[in-house]
C-alpha cells in the first residue's frame, strides 16, 4: 500500500539521515537503557510516577520544591479564570497584562536593578539579549562551559566571541589582554554552571572587568532560590550586585513556572523592549505562567527556610556520595555531578537506578566535554532525609554492581 509519507532521503535533510545512521543510539535503545523523554504521569515533586512505578525524583530543577505547591496552583487557577489561557500576542502589541508588569516590578526590587523585562523562556532571554545588544565591533568573552542558550545568543550576535577556559580567571585575563583596548567588551557567564555545579569566581571576574572596562552578564538560572539574599542569585551572594550589569533568570527552576527575565539598567532594558526579536516577535508569557512565577517569587522571599533546607539536603547527599567513593568534581551547589566518564555506563547506571526507584539525569557530550560523562543529581528543599538516605543506599548498591565505586 502506498503511503502519503514523503521520501526519507532528501539531500536537504542530510543531518537527519546521518543521525538515523548512528549505530550508538540504536545500540542504546536495543540495550533498553535509552534514558531520554521518559514519560512522567504525575506532578513534578520529590516522588513521581513513571510507567506506574513511583520513583524518587533527583533530577528536577525545582530547587525550592514549589512546582506542586497548593498556593501556587490556586494562584494559577485564579489567573486563568480572570485572564484566560493565553495572551494571543507579543508583549509589544496586545500581549502585556498588568500581572506581567507587576512581576517585573517585584523582580526589579528583588534583584536591586532599575528595570526588568520578561521573556517567554529563559532560552529566549539569552538569545534575545546578547544578539540585540552586541554590535559588529564588540567582543564577547564567554566561559567554555556556558549554557547552550548563551552560546546560541553569542552565535546570533554580529560581534566576535572569545572563549576562555572554564571558570579560569587566568585564561580570561589572557583573552582580555589580547583584545584592542578600545573595543567594547561583554563577559558572559553562568552564575552556577548547570552541569558542573560550581559557582563563577565573580570577585576575580569583576576585578578583571573593571581593569579592562568590560560589561558583565550573568545567567542566574541555577542560582535563583539557591544563592544570595532571598535567593536573588550569584551577584548578591558575593555582594557584587552593582558590579554585574545584566542578570538573567528563569522561572523554569526554583520559580516553578515557565519564562525568564533580564534585569539591568533602565536604558538597556528599554532598548531591549523595542529591539530584542524573541521579545517583540514572540507571544508573551501565559497568564498561568505569570501567576505561578509571581506566587513562587513571593514564597521564595517569605520562606527563607526553604533555601536553608535545600542546603542541608545538599550537604547530606554530597557527603553520602563522597563517602561511598563517588567523584563529584568541583560542585559547590545542589547540583551534584557524579562522574562516570563513559556514555554506555552512564546510561546503564541511570537505568538501573530507575529500576531501583531513583530518577537522575544522564549527561553526555555536548552537555559535558567528551570523557566527562556524568549522572546529574539535583536536590530539592522538599526532599526528606529519609528519601536522601534511600537514594544513597541505591547509589551505593548500583555503583558497586557496575564497578563505578
Exactly one of 28, 60, 123, 362 binds ligand PMP (CB under 6 A); that residue is: 123
| DSSP conformation letters of 190-248 | ESB-TTT-PBP-HHHHHHHHHHTTEEEEEE-TTTTTTSSGGG--HHHHTT-GGG--EEE
CA angle 266, 268, 273 (to 5 degrees): 90
Exactly one of 149, 157, 161, 282 binds ligand PMP (CB under 6 A); that residue is: 149
20 versus 144: smaller Cβ distance to ligand PMP: 144
Nearest distance in Å: CB 15, ligand PMP: 23
To the query of whether residue 237 is one of the catalytic residues in this protein, the response is no
Binding part of the chain for ligand PMP, among 90-98, 120-128, 232-240, 343-351 by CB under 6 A, reads: 120-128
User: Alpha-carbon distance 101 to 84, whole Å?
Assistant: 17
User: Alpha-carbon distance 350 to 20, whole Å?
Assistant: 23
Binding part of the chain for ligand PMP, among 116-124, 268-276, 315-323, 346-354 by CB under 6 A, reads: 116-124
Nearest distance in Å: CB 92, ligand PMP: 20
Binding-residue pattern over the window 168 to 207 for ligand PMP, x denoting contact by CB under 6 A: ----------------------x---x-------------
User: Pick the catalytic residue: 120, 149, 157, 194?
Assistant: 194
250 versus 309: smaller Cβ distance to ligand PMP: 250
Strand 160-164 with 185-190, pairing? unpaired
To the query of whether residue 194 is one of the catalytic residues in this protein, the response is yes
Binding part of the chain for ligand PMP, among 36-44, 136-144, 177-185, 219-227 by CB under 6 A, reads: 219-227
Nearest distance in Å: CB 194, ligand PMP: 4
User: Alpha-carbon distance 373 to 198, whole Å?
Assistant: 16
Q: Are 192 and 328 in contact (CB under 8 A)?
A: no
Q: Which helix (H) or strand (E) holds 292?
A: helix 287-302
Output phi, psi for 57, to 5 deg. Answer: -90, 110
231 versus 260: smaller Cβ distance to ligand PMP: 260
257 versus 382: smaller Cβ distance to ligand PMP: 257
127 versus 404: smaller Cβ distance to ligand PMP: 127
Exactly one of 260, 264, 287, 320 binds ligand PMP (CB under 6 A); that residue is: 260
Phi-psi domain of 367 (left: phi exceeds 0; alpha: psi -120 through 50; beta: other): alpha
Give the 3-state secondary structure of residue 189: strand
Q: Are 186 and 134 in contact (CB under 8 A)?
A: yes
| DSSP conformation letters of 111-175 | HT-SEEEEESSHHHHHHHHHHHH--TT-EEEEETT--HHHHHHHHHSSSEEEEE-TT-HHHHHHH
Task: Give the footprint of ligand PMP on residues 238-257 (CB under 6 A).
Answer: 250, 252
User: Alpha-carbon distance 18 to 11, whole Å?
Assistant: 11
Instruction: Report the residue number whose CB is nearest to ligand PMP.
Output: 122
Q: What is the 3-state secondary structure (H, E, C) of 17-62?
A: HHHHHCHHHHHHHHCCCCCCCCCECCCCCCEEEECCEEEEECECCC
Q: Are 334 and 378 in contact (CB under 8 A)?
A: yes
Task: Give the footprint of ligand PMP on residues 287-326 (CB under 6 A).
Answer: none
Nearest distance in Å: CB 318, ligand PMP: 20
Binding part of the chain for ligand PMP, among 171-179, 217-225, 286-294, 357-365 by CB under 6 A, reads: 217-225
User: Pick the catalytic residue: 100, 230, 253, 394?
Assistant: 253
Nearest distance in Å: CB 119, ligand PMP: 8
To the query of whether residue 275 is one of the catalytic residues in this protein, the response is no
Exactly one of 35, 65, 95, 122 binds ligand PMP (CB under 6 A); that residue is: 122
Give the 3-state secondary structure of residue 342: coil
Binding status of residue 221 toward ligand PMP by CB under 6 A: yes
Give the 3-state secondary structure of residue 294: helix
Output phi, psi for 9, to 5 deg. Answer: -120, 40
User: Pick the catalytic residue: 113, 222, 230, 394?
Assistant: 222
Number of residues counted as binding ligand PMP (CB under 6 A): 14
Q: Would you name the residues annotated as active-site residues?
A: 194, 222, 253
Residues that bind ligand PMP (CB under 6 A): 121-123, 126, 147, 149, 190, 194, 219, 221-222, 250, 252, 260
Amino acid at each position: 500500500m502506498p503511503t502519503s509519507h514523503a521520501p526519507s532521503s532528501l539531500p536537504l535533510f542530510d543531518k537527519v539521515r546521518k543521525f538515523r545512521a548512528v549505530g550508538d543510539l540504536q545500540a542504546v535503545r536495543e540495550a533498553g537503557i535509552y534514558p531520554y523523554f521518559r514519560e512522567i504521569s504525575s506532578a513534578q515533586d520529590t516522588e513521581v510516577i513513571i510507567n506506574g512505578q513511583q520513583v524518587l525524583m533527583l533530577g528536577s530543577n525545582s530547587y525550592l520544591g514549589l512546582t506542586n505547591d497548593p498556593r501556587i496552583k490556586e494562584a494559577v487557577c485564579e489567573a486563568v479564570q480572570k485572564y484566560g489561557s493565553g495572551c494571543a500576542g507579543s508583549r509589544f502589541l496586545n500581549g502585556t497584562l498588568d500581572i506581567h508588569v507587576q512581576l517585573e516590578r517585584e523582580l526589579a526590587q528583588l534583584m536591586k536593578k532599575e528595570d526588568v523585562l520578561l521573556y517567554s523562556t529563559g532560552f529566549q532571554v539569552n538569545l534575545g539579549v546578547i544578539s540585540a545588544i552586541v554590535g559588529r565591533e564588540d567582543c564577547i568573552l564567554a566561559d567554555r562551559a556556558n549554557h547552550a542558550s548563551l552560546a546560541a545568543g553569542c552565535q546570533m550576535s554580529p560581534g566576535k566571541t572569545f572563549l576562555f577556559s572554564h571558570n579560569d580567571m587566568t585564561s580570561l585575563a589572557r583573552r582580555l589582554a589580547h583584545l584592542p583596548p578600545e573595543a567594547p567588551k561583554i563577559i558572559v557567564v553562568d552564575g552556577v554552571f548547570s552541569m558542573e555545579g560550581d559557582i563563577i569566581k565573580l570577585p576575580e571576574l569583576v576585578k578583571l572587568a573593571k581593569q579592562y572596562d568590560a560589561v558583565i552578564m550573568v545567567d542566574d538560572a541555577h542560582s535563583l532560590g539557591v544563592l544570595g539574599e532571598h535567593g536573588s542569585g550569584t551577584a548578591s551572594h558575593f555582594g557584587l550586585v552593582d558590579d554585574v550589569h545584566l542578570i538573567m533568570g528563569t522561572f523554569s527552576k526554583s520559580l516553578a513556572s515557565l519564562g525568564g527575565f533580564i534585569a539591568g539598567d533602565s536604558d538597556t532594558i528599554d532598548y531591549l523592549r523595542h529591539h530584542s526579536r524573541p521579545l517583540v516577535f514572540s507571544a508573551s508569557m501565559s497568564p498561568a505562567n505569570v501567576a505561578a512565577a509571581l506566587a513562587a517569587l513571593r514564597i521564595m522571599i517569605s520562606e527563607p527556610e526553604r533555601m536553608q533546607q535545600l542546603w542541608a539536603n545538599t550537604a547530606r547527599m554530597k557527603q553520602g556520595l563522597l563517602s561511598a567513593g563517588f567523584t563529584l568534581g568541583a560542585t559547590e551547589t545542589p547540583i551534584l555531578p557524579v562522574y562516570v566518564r563513559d556514555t554506555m555506563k552512564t546510561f546503564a547506571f541511570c537505568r538501573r537506578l530507575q529500576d531501583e526507584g531513583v530518577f537522575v539525569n544522564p549527561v553526555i557530550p555536548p552537555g559535558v566535554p567528551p570523557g566527562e560523562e556524568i549522572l546529574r543529581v539535583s536536590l530539592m528543599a522538599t526532599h526528606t532525609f529519609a528519601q536522601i538516605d534511600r537514594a544513597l543506599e541505591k547509589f551505593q548498591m548500583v555503583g558497586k554492581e557496575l564497578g563505578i565505586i
